[in-house]
Amino acid sequence: MKSNFLIVFGICVFIVACQNQKKENLKISESLLEQKQFDLPDSLSARRISFVLNLKKDVAKYAWSDFGKKGTEGTLIYFNSDKSEVFFPDSLVMETIVSFDKHSDDYLLAPRTDSIPFHMENMLSFDKDDSSKFYYDNPVEQYCSVEEINKFIPSVQSSEMWSTMVIHEMFHHYQLNNENYKGYAKNEISLLPFDPRNLFSLCKEDENFLALIQNENDFLMKAISVSSGDNRDSLISTYLEKRKRRIEKFSIEYPDLEKVEDFYVIQEGSARYIEYKSMFIHSGYANDSDSVVILNDPMFKSFTEFNEVDLSNEAFSYLTYAAPSDYYYTIGFNIMRLLDELGIDYKPYLLNQPQKGLHKYLEDYINTLPNKTYKQ
């Protein structure tokens, strides 16, 4: 049993940015002005965070209504050079950070809270050794500024692209605000001697494992794209059978493989799904002359990267490619897109029943078909 456990809900993005011309005639929308309900300073960082909160509200209306119930999911830390700007600090954060200047209950300015150069994550630890940390049993979003992210991921060249990464992490915070999901992570997944590092090692050390994963992903992609119901059902059944055989084969040596993979397929697949849906919100903004902007932001590019969101475009190909480091992101993302195509209402149950793998919803669907039963 593993006693030390730290979840870092991070995001990997490799995207080529497009044009940089800013449209001067865009206006601030009323929806962004409504963010004045929060008492934040008049600063570039606050305008960027307000922009993301507006995006959160819009993507929730478009793709996941429950995600929009709260204006913010909780504390987030924005790393800005040698400072940590703490938005919406909770009591644990305020008790843990030694020195800060308080602007309001919604904003603190503190010396940089750590020396780690790159942050794009949701931090949470269940390890009692971290009991003095502000993220002990308490999810906290952490982001570097757009400028700092660009140093590590050069393709992220705009505040808009940065905001899709932030939305991904904000959705992780939403996941962990669900007590069923958080309890499952703490009481089941965190206690296993197997984690995503083992999944990555399997992909790197065993070419057969990665090849099987990528073959499964191909069947999911085909099932999403076909127009014939019978063909789609056949592809889904083939995917499920191939997945079953892979799990059976590798679970002999790695008995916790399925449980861990299922958890992270839900965790990262759904966050990538929301990230992708946020790109369509940006696409809508790009065609609206009254769209939301970030005033006086040199990294704001007027949504030019999102004029067309096309998964066949190289700039978005990372979303659907099952890479060794993040294949479970892709598998989850594609299963969710397929469930949408099938009209299956899975979102209200996904976090409340985290022990039920995403593929199970496909099994349930196959088992509703006449004369078709998927044997588990």
For 178-209, the pLDDT digits (tens) are 999 999 999 999 999 999 999 999 999 998 99
Q: Which of 19-33, 212-226, 241-255 has the lowest mean pLDDT?
A: 19-33
pLDDT of residue 26: 39
Q: What are phi and psi of 101, to 5 degrees?
A: -105, 130
Number of domains in the chain: 1
- How many residues belong to the chain? 376
CB of 62 closer than 8 Å to CB of 167: no
Selection from 161, 193, 187, 172 nearest residue 121 by Cα: 172
Return the structure tokens found at 307.
Answer: 């004029």
| CA atoms of 255 and 258, how far apart (whole Å) | 7
**Residue 136 DSSP one-character state:** B
| CA atoms of 215 and 228, how far apart (whole Å) | 21
Taking residue 208's Cβ as centre, other Cβ atoms within 10 Å add up to 11
Confirm whether 82 is domain-assigned.
yes
Over residues 276-284, the mean pLDDT reads 96
pLDDT of residue 372: 65
Q: Global pTM?
A: 0.90
CB of 129 closer than 8 Å to CB of 84: no
Selection from 376, 124, 362 nearest residue 265 by Cα: 362
CB of 24 closer than 8 Å to CB of 239: no
User: How large is the C-alpha radius of gyration of the chain?
Assistant: 21
Confirm whether 225 is domain-assigned.
yes
Confirm whether 1 is domain-assigned.
no
Confidence grade of residue 313 (pLDDT, cut at 50, 70, 90): confident
Confirm whether 312 is domain-assigned.
yes
pLDDT of residue 19: 30
Selection from 264, 126, 152, 153 nearest residue 202 by Cα: 264
Confirm whether 327 is domain-assigned.
yes
- Between CA 260 and CA 198, with CA 124 as vertex, the angle to 5 degrees is 30
Selection from 229, 248, 249 nearest residue 237 by Cα: 229
Confirm whether 372 is domain-assigned.
no
CA–centroid distance for 47 within its chain: 22
Confirm whether 373 is domain-assigned.
no
Over residues 271-275, the mean pLDDT reads 98
Domain span at 67: 6-367
Confirm whether 374 is domain-assigned.
no
Selection from 343, 115, 85 nearest residue 229 by Cα: 343
Q: Is the pLDDT of residue 319 over 90?
A: yes
Over residues 265-270, the mean pLDDT reads 98
Confidence grade of residue 168 (pLDDT, cut at 50, 70, 90): very high
Q: Is the pLDDT of residue 9 over 80?
A: no
Q: Is the pLDDT of residue 28 over 90?
A: no
Helix axes 327-342, 229-251, angle to 10 degrees: 150
Taking residue 352's Cβ as centre, other Cβ atoms within 10 Å add up to 12
CB of 46 closer than 8 Å to CB of 40: yes
